Amino acid sequence: MRLLVDGLNVIGSRPDRWWRDRRGAMRRLIAALERYRHKTGAEIIVALDSAPFDVGGGAVEVRFAPGGRNAGDDEIVRIVERDPAPGTLTVVTSDKQLAARVEALGASVTGSREFRDRLGDR
């Protein structure tokens, strides 16, 4: 299983006041993704709309996209475009425009809320 996660879209799928500590929310997501990776063996890349900072972890590849609005979406599309086997990627997002862009490139899509429920990070 190869997952490409729209980080802020997954974080925003649960209104748990994450916006009060945006970096903390990103760190919590990375920690949950690390646990999921260890449990499932999935290869995981997460794109975060942010300037780089220490998020901890190590088993999950983190791609920072500090370019402003939709920078993370554009980074996800670049990753799918450059992947030699985009049909093996599942993009985790509930952004309909992003979903259409990556599906046109051959990736599949799963919804953020559904995936977050699988993470079990409540």
Residue 121 clears pLDDT 70, i.e. is over it? no
Secondary-structure breakdown of the chain: helix, strand, coil percentages, each rounded to the nearest 5: 50, 20, 35
| Number of structural domains the chain divides into | 1
Q: What pLDDT is recorded for position 57? A: 74
Say which amino acid occupies 72: G
pTM of the model: 0.93
| pLDDT tens-place string over residues 17-36 | 888 999 999 999 999 999 99
For a pLDDT cut of 70, what percent of the chain falls above it? 98
Q: State the CB neighbour count (10 A cutoff) for residue 104.
A: 10
Q: How many residues does the chain have?
A: 122
Range of the domain at 10: 2-119
pLDDT tens-digit profile of 60-76?
Answer: 999 999 877 789 999 99
